A = this chain, B = another copy of it.
Amino acid sequence: MAKATDTSGTTPVPQRLLAAATRLFAENGYDRTSVQEIVEAAGVTKGALYHYFGSKEDLLQEVYARVLRLQQERLDAFADADEPIERRLREAAADVVVTTIDNLDDAAIFFRSMHHLSPEKNKQVRAERRRYHERFRALVEEGQNAGVFSTATPADLVVDYHFGSVHHLSTWYRPDGPLTQQQVADHLADLLLRALRP
């Protein structure tokens, strides 16, 4: 959670700023992180930040955009694979856990700071989030229609149940805990699939 930021080396300034902001937003929260802290952590001046980003909020949005893009791409790949629905859902469910643990900072920011975005940007992020949710739900529904998943619970609720646990990871997961990220991922995917047994 506290990787060092390259403050003067070869990494381009915008990336340096984004990395520093991500770390600080995750550690201290968006409102508690001052622009001054960000530029100091990135080894540049305020002017440089405002040369590349229109506002502090833009930095936050960039963090969102990056993680959303990544997760959507991965979900699409797993969902489109040529495998049985049970397997595709299990792998997608496990992958989102692994990816989230790999980017715990982004995840923490995502779920904690979304309400700091202006209504306009918030709407945009929610829309992309919705698209992600629906792709996942389609997998659940596909299995329900095929009769391999129980229909006892509405698919929407099933998805929210699983995403809740993903969301929660940044609260309790520690890299030095008893379980590796893959083990956690397998367990959580397993819980989902077991709950869906007819």
List the interface of chain A (C-beta within 8 A of B). 28-29, 31-32, 111-112, 115-116, 150, 152-154, 157-158, 160-161, 163-169, 171-172, 179, 184, 187-188, 190-192, 194-197
B187 near A157 with CB under 8 A, answer: yes
Which one, B29, B154, B158, B164, contacts A116 given CB within 8 A?
A: B29
- In the complex, A159→B197 CA distance in Å? 20
CA distance in complex: A154, B190 (Å): 12
Decide if B172 touches A165 in the complex (CB within 8 Å). no
Residues of B within 8 A of A29 (CB): 31, 115-116
**27 pairs, A vs B, C-beta closer than 8 Å:** A32-B116, A111-B111, A111-B112, A111-B171, A150-B194, A153-B187, A153-B191, A154-B187, A157-B184, A157-B187, A157-B188, A157-B191, A160-B165, A160-B168, A160-B172, A161-B165, A161-B191, A164-B164, A164-B166, A164-B167, A164-B169, A167-B167, A167-B168, A167-B171, A192-B195, A194-B196, A195-B195
* Residues of B contacting A111 in the complex (Cβ-Cβ under 8 angstroms): 111-112, 171
Residues of B within 8 A of A190 (CB): 152-153
* Copies of this protein in the complex: 4
Question: Can you add 19 more A-B contacts, CB < 8 Å, to A153-B187, A160-B172, A194-B197?
Answer: A28-B115, A29-B115, A31-B32, A111-B112, A150-B194, A152-B190, A154-B179, A154-B187, A157-B184, A157-B188, A160-B168, A161-B191, A164-B164, A164-B167, A164-B169, A165-B165, A167-B171, A191-B195, A194-B196
A194 to B154, CA, bound (A): 14
**Which residues of the partner chain B approach A163 to less than 8 Å between Cβ atoms?**
168
